[in-house]
Amino acid sequence: MLYKAFHVNALADVTTLDDGLVSLVEAPVHVNAIIINTSATEGNVIECWIGNKMVVGIYDYCLDTQEEAVGFTGFSIVKIGRLPIDLDVPAGQTFKVGSNCGAVGHHLYGAYEYKEKT
């Protein structure tokens, strides 16, 4: 199993995606899951994309929050921390994580859990 860290500084009123996990012809990837938490729950939609196709859409209310957010939304460690994906990423495509934010932005922290296909 391989892991690649990501961070998304999701801005208000836009969709912000990370640089993603690239699937190469010589090293195609299979995404098993993402490990993820948010700085605060604001009613934003966490999205995962392969190319121009959205493959995951889940509210940030479902995710654990960071301890530093205690003063804002409450600390949570009992929600989703690992989101199963189980998708092959076609060669030449990129798997990206991001947030479609409303009026309030937030930060996403996590890692791709993946393997290279042989």
CATH number at residue 109: 2.60.120
CA distances from residue 3 to 12, 30, 35, 105, 118 in whole angstroms, order as listed: 28, 12, 9, 26, 17
Mean residue pLDDT across the chain: 91
Residue 8 clears pLDDT 60, i.e. is over it: yes
For the chain, how many structural domains are there in total? 1
- pLDDT, tens digit, 9 for 90 and up, residues 58-100: 999 898 887 554 555 556 666 778 999 999 999 999 999 999 9
Name the residue type at position 101. C
pLDDT for res 76 = 63
Residue 62: which domain range?
2-116
Among 8-22, 44-58, 64-78, the minimum mean pLDDT is found in 64-78
DSSP state of 90: P
Stated pTM of the model: 0.89
CA distances from residue 56 to 40, 45, 103, 118 in whole angstroms, order as listed: 19, 9, 21, 25
Name the residue type at position 113. E
